[in-house]
Structure 1
Amino acid sequence: RWQELYKKRTAVERVNSRLDQSFGFEQHFIRGLKKMSLRCALALAVMLAMALGRIRVHILP
């Protein structure tokens, strides 16, 4: 079980890196768990929408 989870770590680290760099989470000025949770959720939704858009562009030219 531990080895399976460890293999998935690189994918999670890539997502964390994108959140830090692309969406400005390295230098944030947000206070409060609710506000930060909302901002993370919105950033992840944007990342998913961008990925979906890229997939659609490549599949449906």
Structure 2
Amino acid sequence: MNRATYQWKREYAHRTAVERVNSRLDGSFGLELHTIRELKKMLLRCVLALIVMLAMTLRRIGKQQPERMRRLVG
């Protein structure tokens, strides 16, 4: 795939979006520095964090505040 193509730019934009979510999970939800030793427990914690992020986004969209849907606080 050529990097100058529209498809490349679109795929790269998806990659950066995923990296933003990963960064938020690590930093804001404390998944980077953890003491969890079981994969099932870690998976549960990741899923719960993602559910919280989605719930906050849906709430802000419902309140007609789409410009604030990426914020974790306020």
Q: TM-score range by the shorter chain?
A: 0.7 to 0.9
Higher relative contact order (CA 8 A, sep 6+): 1
Work out which of the residue numbers 43, 46, 51 in structure 2 matches 1:45.
51
Mark the runs of 5 or more structure 1 residues left unpaired by the alignment. none
- The two structures, once aligned, show a CA RMSD in angstroms of 1.8
Q: Determine which structure has more spread, i.e. the larger CA radius of gyration.
A: 2
- The alignment partner of 2:24 has SS state of helix
Mark the runs of 5 or more structure 2 residues left unpaired by the alignment. 2-6, 66-74
CA distance in 1, matches of 2:60, 2:13: 25
TM-score (norm 2): 0.69
How many residues align structurally? 59
TM-score (norm 1): 0.82
Q: Which amino acid in the other structure matches residue 21 of structure 2?
A: V
Percent of pairs with identical residues: 64
